[in-house]
Amino acid sequence: MNKIVFIDSITNDERTQWIQLLNEALSEEHIVLPEQVGEETVHEVDIAIVANPQPEDLLRYPNLRLVQSVWAGVEKLVSALRSQEFSRVQVRLARLEDTQLSISMAESVLAWTLYLQRNMSKYVGQQTAKKWLQLPNINSKHVRVSILGAGKLGLASLELLKKLDYQLSCWTRSNKQLDSVNHFYGVAGLKAMLAQTDILINLLPLTSETHRLLDKEKLAWLPLGSKLINFSRGSIVNTSDLIELINKGHIAHAVLDVFDQEPLPEDSELWSNPKITILPHISAPTNKKTAVKIVAETIIAYRKEQKWPECVDLSLGY
Ligand code: NAP
């Protein structure tokens, strides 16, 4: 009998919750933890459901065909699957694509765009200093908001931002036509878009192409006084370059939800910079109930109809 192994690096409580929900949704399947698979039965495992696993743990299962992540970001797995170590492994990787996750991200994008637009970070500072000062209010239809990436999360965010009439732009790898959104691609397109941006939101996946994309040179393409929101992956931004541009006053404020190292170390200078807002990776958390429903539907379609889910293109890295 084929087995599904659940591989993770999460807390025991979290693991118990996932296993319970998965067992309820996939009652015909045999879902096991790695320690429940003896060496004589490793060949029975053909699917892995994973929550931020150590990629090398997958190598134990010679007949593994499908790896289904319960997280949307899978860059660690992608880089392992592209490595020499995995060259003989015939496995495909599906990441979590959940409408509920896209809605959560769109809500976060709107909330923090409004935070920056309505000077909330400055009012926090003014309250601390007991300072009564009314700052100019700029209506959303005069605010230029640009999103890096228009995939599942970027498109949902653009749709929500449209309702407030922002001047919207986005930048992607391929050319596309989007309703009421200026579209840019390529390096020249990135430069042109950043030059006309008040609030920049990063929703790109972390790949070899996007790693440290936002460095000193590119951040300086933004106009004086612009603001940054990073909600996808910390390593897409060069943090020391960002701090330099913030300290120079070129970038007025940054809202960061993701970092090179998480949790953000206590001695990081980011914590105490008044022009940086730190969030603990909460812009779009996985909703276990909706995620399990999607994962179960994927696995049932794979088993009963041999239907593969949409999988990550390892050559592109996302
Ligand atoms: P997605 O559907 O795969 O979309 C990726 C987008 O990025 C696409 O529009 C793609 O362009 C664009 N892109 C990729 N490489 C590019 C490049 N080199 N140059 C320009 N554009 C490029 O991804 P998603 O579901 O929207 O998720 C994005 C990321 O958000 C995830 O990878 C994950 O890291 C992060 N995330 C964060 C949280 C959180 O709580 N902070 C939660 C979930 C996900 P094309 O349209 O041309 O393909």
Report the 10 Å Cβ neighbour count for 303.
17
Tens digit of each residue's pLDDT (9 = 90 or more) over 141-174: 999 999 999 999 999 999 999 999 999 999 999 9
65-85 burial, b if ≥16 CB within 10 A, otherwise e? bbbbbbbbbbbebbbbbeeee
Instruction: Supply the residues annotated as catalytic.
Output: 233, 281
- pLDDT classification of 259: cutoffs 50, 70, 90: very high
Provide the whole-model pTM: 0.97
Centre of ligand 1 from the C-alpha of residue 2, in Å: 33
- What percent of the chain clears pLDDT 70, i.e. is strictly above it? 100
Task: Look at residue 1 in the predicted model and tell me its pLDDT.
Answer: 81
Ligand 1 shell residues, CB under 6 Å: 72-73, 101, 149-154, 171-174, 203-207, 209-210, 231-233, 257-258, 281, 283-284, 318
Centre of ligand 1 from the C-alpha of residue 182, in Å: 18
- What percent of the chain clears pLDDT 90, i.e. is strictly above it? 99
Tens digit of each residue's pLDDT (9 = 90 or more) over 120-133: 999 999 999 999 99
d(CA 44, CA 30): 10
Centre of ligand 1 from the C-alpha of residue 208, in Å: 13
Q: Which residues contact 138 (CB under 8 A, 6 or more apart)?
A: 117
CA-nearest residue, atom 18 of ligand 1: 209
d(CA 179, CA 125): 38
d(CA 315, CA 176): 21
Average pLDDT, the chain: 97
Q: Which residue from 70, 109, 173 has its CB within 8 A of the most atoms of ligand 1, so it is best to mutate?
A: 173
Atom of ligand 1 nearest to the CA of 316: 15
Instruction: Calculate the CA dihedral of residues 142, 145, 151, 153 and round it to 10 degrees.
Output: -90
Centre of ligand 1 from the C-alpha of residue 214, in Å: 15
Q: Which residue from 108, 232, 311 has its CB within 8 A of the most atoms of ligand 1, so it is best to mutate?
A: 232
Centre of ligand 1 from the C-alpha of residue 69, in Å: 15
Tens digit of each residue's pLDDT (9 = 90 or more) over 42-69: 999 999 999 999 999 999 999 999 999 9
Phi, psi of 30 (to 5 degrees): -110, 100
Atom of ligand 1 nearest to the CA of 155: 26
Atom of ligand 1 nearest to the CA of 71: 43
Task: Look at residue 169 in the predicted model and tell me its pLDDT.
Answer: 98
CA-nearest residue, atom 15 of ligand 1: 173
Q: Which residues contact 119 (CB under 8 A, 6 or more apart)?
A: 135, 137
Task: Look at residue 163 in the predicted model and tell me its pLDDT.
Answer: 98
Judge whether residue 107 has pLDDT over 90: yes
Tens digit of each residue's pLDDT (9 = 90 or more) over 26-45: 999 999 999 999 999 999 99
